[in-house]
Structure 1
Amino acid sequence: MTLAESDANGDNAAASSGSQLDRLLALAAEREPVRTAVVHPCDAVSLTGALEAARMRLIEPILVGPAEKIKAAAAAADEDLTGIPLVAVEHSHAAAAEACRMARAGEVGAIMKGSLHTDELLGAAVDGASGLRTDRRMSHVFILDVPTYPRPIFLSDAAINIAPDLATKKDIVQNAIDCAHALGVAEPRVAVLAAVETVHPNMSATLDAAALSKMAERGQIVGGLVDGPLAFDNAISPEAAATKKITSPVAGRADVLIAPNIEAGNMLAKQLAYLAGAQSAGIVMGARVPIMLTSRADGRLSRLASCAAALLVARHERIKPSR
């Protein structure tokens, strides 16, 4: 069952029907693995995560980093690197730069974070001269499987853009829509979140949300249904939307949640994880290739699902018609 088929089953779908992330892995299994630069995999967690994804044919890893440190991590994890390409560089900064060069040259179709700081990898990716910039701002998309919700939730941006202005939010919305398309959601419903569902002149989040909704109506954002401002409750609860008498194709059934800023997005993602038992995958969109920002705190399923998401995005971008 694809994510789109899961959504078509309606609001009565239950968590017992299986994890959305498991279905994501099943969808990725139908594609060829994507050649991936694994940046500075110098500890057992990051290295074994990449190698397990390779064994599941989600990625074809190229390890980029200090050769001796990578080999030491392999020995500590009892992993065999025979047949795995290794590009030796001096340190983590060089590894990030080399991975970006490989992506620009078309040698890899995705990048996976190893045991370096996120800022190091993203710093190389956003470099104006040698990075992976496109005409879009880069943004992070969480793909969340919440046991009490009948469909996956795509949440953005909770990791990169701190206080996005309207132009940046436009790219955040379009990136999230494109991610949802790649993962099988044909026409994602996008809720632009604020504290209230009415436009208030003193609350900039509501003004931005209303503008984004109108931009989608005028074709400046394409591929999804965008509405806002919506408060979190009436974005995901049909009962809350009905109580507030909100008439909207998005309210109560959102696929995509757009946070007003990084604090709101980050807290929402962590609340869903720690209080609602959500599992998550995550990738960076808007670069030349998808970037997996896996963390040492991520569980096995989250790491593999992030690889699956990157694979699906990479394959989707190859065949997506130009706009």
Structure 2
Amino acid sequence: MADLSENVSLASPTPVPKAAGTSLQWLKTPWTVSVAILIAVAVLDPGNFWAVITFAGAALAHTGQYILFAVLLLAYLKATGAEVMVARAFEGRETRMIFLAAVFGGLAPFCSCEVIPFIAGLLALGAPLSAVMAFWLASPLIDPPTLLITAGALGWNFAIGKAVIAVTLGLFGGFFVKTLMGRGAFSSPLKQAQSCSACGCSAPKLDDKPHWKFWQEPARRVKFREEFVSNGVFLLKWLALAYVLEAILVNYVPADLIAKAVGGEGVLPIAIAALVGMPAYLNSYVAPPLLAGLMEQGMSAGAAMSFMVAGAVSSIPAMAAVWSLVKPQVFATYLGLGVSGAIVSGILFQLI
């Protein structure tokens, strides 16, 4: 997760003090939105303030155990260099690569910055677009913390269902692109590769090895602590906002309004949820708590799954990664697979 940093120009006649710069950065965070919402409730509807606080606090406390485990897992994966295993999924026969890319897409401990040079390096080394597409479709949908947070908010059935959908959508997209490539499509998918050197990211080397006993090396112990703190703060701030928003949703949005739009059986509510989910993207940490609130208000399980899948595929980091590396026709294929996959996933999840 990208750390915030302040850059004060030495040439500025009135440099911003460090404390002031830090305050300005804090104002841009989810903490500010959460506090602002609570202040608005306290001022406009003081009688409901304690109910909102209690609801959000209890939900956050319930999910805390999942957050702790997710943060420990992510820190361990980063400290050991486990992303090398993901790189190795792109070696060998194309069919094998597609299968492994879809599976590892849900396990990769990459931030939105790191995935760009990682994929760029693999494409430059000759990894087929079919395997890359499988990874790109699966990766935004699920990862260790998303799985645990989804389980905490919506239950394990929903979390496991989303994980299965992520791998299935990755496989379908990979083999769909493989079929089109066999007919001459996507002969030159890449734009000119772009650098991410400003972020300090680089693609892992295929000949590297994970160091599972990271505690034996001081540098890796430092890496573990840094990742634990940064990811812990990241997840905590977003989930605090998510549960405050869920409390507002449950307390103030009429249930019949939700039920009319995305409730009930049939394909229409699921398709509407997918189409709404794409432009109204909520990251994978905020979406589960909000969907839990919507389902309490009458949203169907299939529509909730459709909304979540479409929203994840259309995330700004995911789309930026695809757009920065490949040509428009590949980008359009990615979005088309994402939307259609979201609708089909919602229908199947509703039936099951």
Q: TM-score, normalised by structure 2?
A: 0.22
- Which structure has the highest helix share of the two? 2
Q: TM-score, normalised by structure 1?
A: 0.23
> Computing the radius of gyration over CA atoms, which structure comes out larger, 1 or 2?
2
- Which structure has the highest strand share of the two? 1
